[in-house]
Amino acid sequence: MKVDLAVVGAGPAGLYATYYAGFRGLSVAVVDALDQLGGQMSVLYPEKPVFDVAGFPRVRAQDLVDSLVDQAATADPTYLLGHHAVGLEHGPDGVVLETDRGARIEAGALLVTGGMGRFTPRPLPAGGDFAGRGLRYAVPRPAELADRHVLIVGGGDSAVDWALCLAPIAASVTLVHRRTAFRAHERSVKELEASSVRILTPYEVLDVRGPDRVAEVDVEGPAGVETLAVDEIVAALGFKADLAALSSWGIELGRRAVAVDRSMRTNLPRVFAAGDVTDFEGKVKLISVGFGEAALAVNNLVPLVRPDLPVVPGHSSDAA
């Protein structure tokens, strides 16, 4: 298969990059290890409200993905889902990307936006073997936790958002965080503090018990050890991405992410990166930032693939 641009990762940044490449007149192939579009957002957070996208005061994650898919369709991309990107070769006029299922994509440039492999949750140390028996690491269907006593562990956006989402439908929601300060958006933290969620900080989970599934949890904080009766635990401790393929390609990695310059170039020729997979000074991991990085990457790679086209695209309102 020959295309102008190969995109690795079909999450929000990858989908927007696909649209933008089509807007610039490039042909696109998209590779993702998952078997559906939308990345982690679709698999793990489809019901989660998203607040930081321009033009949307609040948007459901899956609705945002559906709109991005519709937008990307204007580029008429070729999708290779369920494919792990494993091999990368360089040539005088581009790159050759290979997948674990034998696909071979010849492209003028490569844009990495994630999708390198399976992402695994950071485990709850005291969780033992309760995963799937009351211990979970995501809440793709909040209704499953209706009328349950839920303990959420974590202090980031996912932990706070899930606490707010479950508070109206669960029998009770308790949030445990090992620090006094949260890493979530200030607005969300204020909503949390005004909600019915019981907040325990700084507290840590010491032990999880139950005959067959989660029943009791010991937590420890300034007041000592407290035992909570719990039906479900949501461990929102983050996920680890598989960047082994990137490292084997020779891509320079920063703080567990791809190092890029201000044009979103990596250290490899004709290889760019955008979205949460990137790292640079001042990096902020937001969906809205990922969209901007995707547009930067595409515009800067266009002249490499199409020397007759400039970096600056002009105004979209001028397009036919």
Q: Which residues are annotated as a binding site for FAD?
A: 32, 40, 45, 85, 119, 276, 317
Torsion angle defined by CA atoms of residues 279, 283, 286 and 291, in that order, rounded to the nearest 10 degrees: -70
C-alpha–C-alpha distance, residues 248 and 240, integer Å:
18
Q: Which helix (H) or strand (E) holds 21?
A: helix 12-23
The whole-angstrom distance between residue 247's C-alpha and the CA centroid of its chain comes to 20
- Cα–Cα–Cα angle for 45, 285, 257, nearest 5°? 105
- Which residue numbers belong to the known binding site? 32, 40, 45, 85, 119, 276, 317
C-alpha–C-alpha distance, residues 95 and 49, integer Å:
38
Those residues whose C-beta lies under 8 Å from the C-beta of residue 189, and which sit 6 or more positions away, are 160, 182
Of the candidates 173, 154, 313, 319, the residue with the CA atom closest to the CA atom of residue 237? 154
SS3 content of the chain, % helix, strand, coil (to 5): 25, 30, 45
C-alpha–C-alpha distance, residues 11 and 276, integer Å:
10
